[in-house]
Amino acid sequence: MPAKSTLQPVPTVLRPALFDLQVNGFAGVDFQRTDVSAAGMRHACGRLRAHATHRILLTLITDKPDTLAHKLEHYERLRVADPLIAETVVGYHLEGPWLSPHPGFHGAHRPELMCRPDVADFHRLHDAAHGRLRLLTLAPELPGSDELIAAARARGIHVSLGHTDASDGEIDRAIAAGARLCTHLGNGVPADLPRHDNIIQRLLARDELTACFIPDGIHLPPAALRNFFRAKPAGQSILTTDAMAAAGAPPGVYTLAHIETEVGADGIVRERGRRNFAGSALTLERGVAHAAGWLGLGIDQAWALASTAVAKRFDIVLPLIPVFAE
C-alpha cells in the first residue's frame, strides 16, 4: 500500500479577477506593433490570467491616427476569432495622440506624433474599435479638448487627464465637459517641477477625479504613494500597472512601439541610453501585494482597488477566480 502523502493542500479563496485598465504589452508581446499574431495575443492573455488578471483595456500609445485605426481594426479581428482574446480584451485605452508635447510631460511618447484633439479623428478611431473604446487619456490644455471630451462622454467613453500641464481653469473645464480620472498620477511629468504650484498638486486636489496609481515602488516611491492615496477621498483611487512587454517576462531588451527598452534585475523599464521610464514590468497581483503593505490595507481592500473598483466604472462583470489565501 503506498504511503499517504504528507503534503497539505494550498488554501485558496475566491476573489473577483483583476482588471487592468492600462496594459501596453505583456509576456514579451508588444501590443503597439501592427503585426501582433493571434498566437502572440493568446499567449499574452494566458499569461495575464496566470497573474490573476482576466480583464484588461489594451492600451495604445501616441501614434498617427491612421496607424492607430489600423491597430484597432487588427485587434478587433483577433477578438472576433478567439474567445480568450475577446474575454480578456474588453476594450481599448487610447493614451495619445492628444497629449502635451512639451519636454518631460510627453514622457516616452513621441511628441512629433502628437496633435490637437479632433472630433473627426475620434469618431474614426471609435468606429475602427467597433465601439469598444472605453478610455481616453488627453491633455486638457490642448485646443479642442473640451469638444473631444464631450464627444467621448456622449459615446459612454471615460476620459482621463494625463501627460498634461493644465492650469486649474483648464482642469475645471475638462471636468465640466466630463473628465473623471487621472492617468498614472505623479508620472508623465518632468523630474523638476515648481515646489507647490504643479500639475501633481492640481490634479491630486480635485476630488472629482479618480486617481490611477502604479504601485511598483518605482513610478511612485512607497511614501509618495501613501501620501497620494491619503489625499484622495474614499473610493477615488484605483490601481493599474502601465505594463509593457517586459511584464510577466524575464529581464532583457523589449520594445514599446518605437522605443527600445532595457529591463534589469531591478525590474525598472528604461529607454536604452536614457534614464526615463517607459512603462512598467509590474504584474497587477504583485502591485496589489505592494499596496496592501505600503498603504496599510487588508488584502481584500487592496485587491478591490484593482478589480471591483475598476470594473464598476466600466460596467464590466468580473469572474470569481481561486487565488492563494493570505
Residue 25 has φ and ψ, to the nearest 5°, of: 170, 170
- Establish whether 242 is a catalytic residue: yes
- The catalytic residue among 127, 207, 242, 315 is 242
* Cis-peptide into 97, omega within 30 deg: yes
Q: What is d(CA 253, CA 295) in angstroms, rounded to the nearest whole number? A: 32
Q: What is d(CA 100, CA 77) in angstroms, rounded to the nearest whole number? A: 31
Give the Cβ contact number of residue 27 at 10 Å.
20
The residues pairing with 238 across neighbouring beta strands, listed in sequence order, are 212
- The backbone region for 186, taken as left when phi is positive above 0, alpha when psi lies in -120 to 50, beta otherwise, is left
Place of cell 503534503: 7
Would you call 211 helix, strand, or coil by DSSP? strand
All three cell numbers of 40: 502572440
Torsional sign, CA 219, 281, 268, 98: negative
Which residues, including other chains, have CB under 8 Å from residue 207's CB and lie 6 or more apart?
A: 232, 233, 236
Which residues have a catalytic role annotated? Answer: 242
